[in-house]
A and B are shown apart, each in its own frame.
Chain A
Amino acid sequence: MSKTHVTTTVNGDTAEFLASPGMTLLDALRDELGLTGAKEGCGSGDCGACSVMLDGRLVCSCLVLAPEVEGRRVETIEGMAQGGQLHPLQQKFLEHAALQCGFCTPGLLVASKALLDANPDPTETEARYWLAGNLCRCTGYDKIIRAVMDAAAELRQERTA
């Protein structure tokens, strides 16, 4: 069976792997690159647990073919904390108890960061619709939304400071 050699950038570093036919970016991250932070909850783009950034765009990595990322830029949950410091969103998720089982958390954090990068001052409704593709079965979303709004406020303050 022929495999495709793929060279890409993951969290700022060059990564190479062999993609078997039909392999998704999620499979490549988890099985070839050992980055298991992105989760498979459905494999059909309906739960968002596999969310990653591809060239700065939020995508479900289960809906990207592995060879498609040749020469492109992938960012995952593993790259979110920088220099041993949690990102404010990660910190706010902890402070607000915005996770219970934690399985959907990596995807929600990646999606939330994409939201705040695109819209630093979202309304609650905007945050809820932006995150509608990230299923959480534990929390009822209340504390997640509060954490995102609180992180947004903090990031805005940091920017103006």
Chain B
Amino acid sequence: MSETLDKPALNIVGTRPIRPDGADKVTGRAAYGADHSMPGQLVGKILRSPHAHARIVSIDTSKARAVPGVKAIITASDFPDLASEVLEGGEQASNLRDLSLNVMARDKALYHGHAVAAVAAASSEAADEALARIKVTYEVLPHVLDVEPAMAADAPLLHAHLFTEGLEAKATAPSNIAKRHRNVRGDPEGAFAAAEVTVEGRYTTQAVHQGYIEPHATVAAWAEDGRCEVWSSSQGQFMVRTYCARILGIEISDIRVTPAEIGGGFGGKTTVYLEPVALALSRASGHPVKIVMSREDVFRATGPTSGSVMHVKLGASADGTITSAHVDLKFQAGAFPGSPVGAACMTALACYDIANFSIVGWDVVTNTPKVAAYRAPGAPIAAFAVESAMDELARKLGMDPIALREKNAVRNGTKAAYGPTFQNIGYLETLAAIRDSEHYKSPLGPNQGRGVAVGFWFNVGGESTAAVNIGEDGSAVVVTGNPDIGGSRASMAMMAAETLGVPVDRVRPIIGDTASIGYSMLTGGSRTTFATGMAVVQAAEKVILDLRQRTAKLWDVSLDHVVWRMGQAECTDPAKPDKKPMTLAALAAQSARTGGPISAQVSLNAQGAGPGFGVHLCDLEVDPETGHVTVVRYTAAQDVGKAIHPAYVEGQIQGGVAQGVGWALNEAYIFDRQGLMENPGFLDYRMPVASDLPMLDTIMVEVPNPAHPFGAKGVGEVPIVPPLAAVANALRGAIGVRIPHLPLSPPVVLEALDSKAE
């Protein structure tokens, strides 16, 4: 840490100021997706497939058009029939044709809730009436929901032209398997043969939803001159612009997207569902159109992440050195290819230094909603299997679970299972933080168990733009292109203030629309504080350089003799001892005389996002008569690089834990025999409520990321990776049997208790 000696102490970064958008958000003033209206707007509504899999034979809209107040009805024929093409710009690459077909079904409805038509009407009642009068003739087809049945040779085929990628021999027949991923190191089979101890298990998880409380909402207007305005709640206004333009076949220059406040996303708002439909309805009706999803629509037609079937085998020597691993991951992609199984394969063994392994992943389409990114996509699922197996290995070896992980941990210089060589990681420090915690040493009560699990996420950088504009009073406006999903305005303002040397309340952070700030990748991948923060700092540094240059001219000294310190220019030229420091405010006041307004913009493609590691510790208690599980204590440690605003970093960790606990205990998509979702609401899709959880303790480990001006690493995704297994391992400890299937609901737990008794 010697380099920090050269750096000035931090005054703002690392403190906990009140967020700049706080007052708006505690008074109800902040405007989210559904809170915006345009004059003369119509109500848009979407007709959705009542079947899990059906050919659309015909759509008769004539009776619907006759409903008074109905202004437009559209179907897939109102959208261009697009060719298959890979599109960048979302959280992960998407196929343009699939994206378009997911927004509006063309020939086939591929899941219950798939959009098949849309109406725009003067009132909600008229729109409902019109939906009821659209006659769609379906030919119902056999459906398949689960991943293994979908892989069977005789499974109903979703796509006649889907051939498996990634096989040694080119696939000759279509199937539901979109892709096979494979990564092998060393000689796993030979190493298994020589292993002194092995464990093996089959693990399953169900599809779960991101569960943001704000349903998707948009209002869009297509003007007579072809210029489009879109207001929507998403994780990226530029993503919305690109996707709308491509799906509708128009120029991005014709679309301006304004980001609303976003009421949660967790990856689920990294794609479009409503915006192209609202635009098409606006074009057809000549009026702005607003569409707001119901909660039921959100469950049926957006999100979720994959259900899975996984197989893990670990081999070790008696001293606990893991010598071989085999991981097989089968992931449900939903109606179109693109499950996060690739990332799951990359992260599955990322915490471990293992000489021999094989990791195989399968991306499989099913008659369920097309999966969307969900917080560290794929990683929690794989970690559930691998960390459960690690727990079994520790038990079999008679080793402390943290000691086993320490023995096999990746360190600086280790070549990661997914390729790169780790540097500046804080994994061992994070393991030690839990090992040395009071929680880890505390005793357990009756019917209680304790579980440990670890998790990894890459974190990403990427393209961002930031502008810093200095007001004539020396205040600053920071403009970025990233929706603030969890407090990022605060960290942007803090980093700018720290760099400029001004109080944080002199900086106002703004999120620009697509026409007022340069391109920025969406808010996702835990990239905003890292990448956009880097752009903000660089823009502030450009402003400082400009200020120094202006001051040098005013003082008639060389640039080298003007330093910027604590928000003011200071003269270091010994020949000019009379030059009093000039504050930012003083310089701003005379900016007209020194070259005009002071501002700078930086666009960059940030590299060097530091990978993140988390170690979680969960205590739970089981009611042995009912199988009901209560999490009684939880501690999550994570290497965060440098916490810019520690309260929001803690909040990210706590939120990830809560989601992971819900995933572990109760959340799941439930389908009936016809493939219809049975629990599309918060009553039966059981996310944790306040009384379900204890306080969630956090330990922030700070091993700085040298690629970031203040050492920040992404923090938002890592914390959802370990909890599934931490809970499952704690339950294993409490009841003495392993339940390898999520969710760990009371009936499942009681059944496991019975099986033990027998």
Contact = CB atoms under 8 A, between A and B. Distances in A.
Q: Do chains A and B touch in the complex (CB under 8 A)?
A: yes
Nearest to A104: B213
Given A41-B295, A138-B264, A140-B657, A97 B647 contact: yes
14 contacts: A20-B123, A36-B31, A37-B28, A40-B215, A41-B263, A41-B682, A47-B213, A78-B27, A103-B263, A128-B691, A138-B486, A139-B651, A139-B654, A141-B693
B681 interface: yes
- State the main secondary structure of chain B at its contact with A: loop
A13 B21 CA distance: 27
Nearest to B647: A97
Given A44-B295, A138-B486, A140-B657, A99 B26 contact: yes
A127 B27 CA distance: 21
Interface string B477-505: 00000000111000000000000000000
Contacts of A63: none
A73 interface: no
A124 B16 CA distance: 24
Contact of A132 (B263, B647, B650, B689): B689
Contact of A101 (B23, B26, B212): B212
A42 B263 contact: no
A137 B687 CA distance: 8
B659 interface: yes
A8 interface: no
B261 interface: yes
A105 to B, nearest CB: 6
A43 B213 contact: no
B127 to A, nearest CB: 13
Interface string B135-155: 000000000000000000000
Contacts of B211: 137
B28 A137 contact: no
A94 B655 contact: no
Contacts of A131: 690-691
B658 A44 contact: no
B553 interface: no
B30 interface: yes
B683 interface: yes
A4 to B, nearest CB: 15
Contacts of A129: 690-691
A4 B742 CA distance: 50
A83 B35 CA distance: 24
B398 to A, nearest CB: 34
B695 interface: yes
A21 B262 CA distance: 30
B18 A77 contact: no
B690 A134 contact: yes
Given A39-B32, A39-B263, 18 more contacts: A41-B682, A47-B295, A47-B682, A77-B27, A78-B28, A86-B27, A93-B26, A94-B23, A97-B16, A97-B487, A100-B264, A100-B485, A100-B648, A102-B21, A102-B26, A106-B27, A131-B691, A137-B211
Contact of A140 (B123, B486, B658, B683): B658
Interface in B679-735: 681-683, 687-693, 695-696
B294 interface: yes
A133 B683 CA distance: 11
9 closest residue pairs by CB, A with B: A37-B28, A103-B263, A140-B658, A102-B25, A97-B647, A140-B654, A46-B682, A100-B486, A77-B28
Contact of B214 (A41, A78, A125): A41
A132 B686 CA distance: 12
Contacts of A128: 690-691, 693
B714 to A, nearest CB: 15
A100 B681 contact: no
Contacts of B35: 30, 36
Nearest to B697: A142
Contact of B263 (A93, A101, A133): A101
Contacts of B690: 127-129, 131-132, 134, 136, 141, 144-145
A35 interface: yes
B379 to A, nearest CB: 19
B125 A20 contact: yes
A129 B687 CA distance: 15
Contacts of A6: none
A139 B687 CA distance: 13
B294 A43 contact: yes
B15 to A, nearest CB: 12
Given A44-B295, A103-B213, A137-B211, A37 B682 contact: no
Interface in B1-39: 16, 18-19, 21-23, 25-32, 34-35
Interface residue tally on B, bucketed by range: 35 or more
B32 A103 contact: yes
A81 interface: yes
Contacts of A44: 295, 681-683
Interface string A98-114: 01111111100100000
A35 B208 CA distance: 33
Nearest to B32: A103
Contact of A138 (B650, B655, B689): B655
Nearest to A148: B690
B30 A102 contact: yes
Contacts of B123: 20
Contacts of A138: 264, 486, 651, 655
A35 B16 CA distance: 31
Interface string B633-671: 000000000000101101110111111000000000000
A137 B264 contact: yes
Nearest to A34: B37
B564 interface: no
A149 to B, nearest CB: 11
Interface in B251-282: 261-266
Contact of B26 (A90, A141, A142, A145): A90
Contact of A103 (B214, B691, B695): B214
Contact of A139 (B16, B263, B655): B655
A134 B688 CA distance: 10
A76 B28 contact: yes
Contacts of B262: 101
Contacts of A94: 18-19, 22-23, 26
Interface string A15-50: 000001100000000100001111111111011010
A17 to B, nearest CB: 15
A73 B295 CA distance: 28
A105 B213 CA distance: 11
B695 A142 contact: yes
Contact of A97 (B19, B21, B683): B19
A96 B487 CA distance: 12
A90 to B, nearest CB: 4
B215 A41 contact: yes
Contacts of B651: 97, 100, 138-140, 143
A1 interface: yes
Contacts of A146: 695
Contacts of B26: 81, 86, 90, 93-94, 99, 102, 105-106, 109
A37, A101, A133, A136, most chain B CB atoms within 10 A: A101
A153 interface: no
A80 interface: yes
A110 B250 CA distance: 45
A90 B32 contact: no
A132 B654 CA distance: 17
Contact of B25 (A1, A46, A99): A99
A95 interface: yes
A64 interface: no
Contacts of B656: 140
A158 to B, nearest CB: 19
Nearest to A1: B125
A43, A47, A136, A138, most chain B CB atoms within 10 A: A138
A140 B212 CA distance: 13
A90 B648 CA distance: 17
A30 B292 CA distance: 13
A54 interface: no
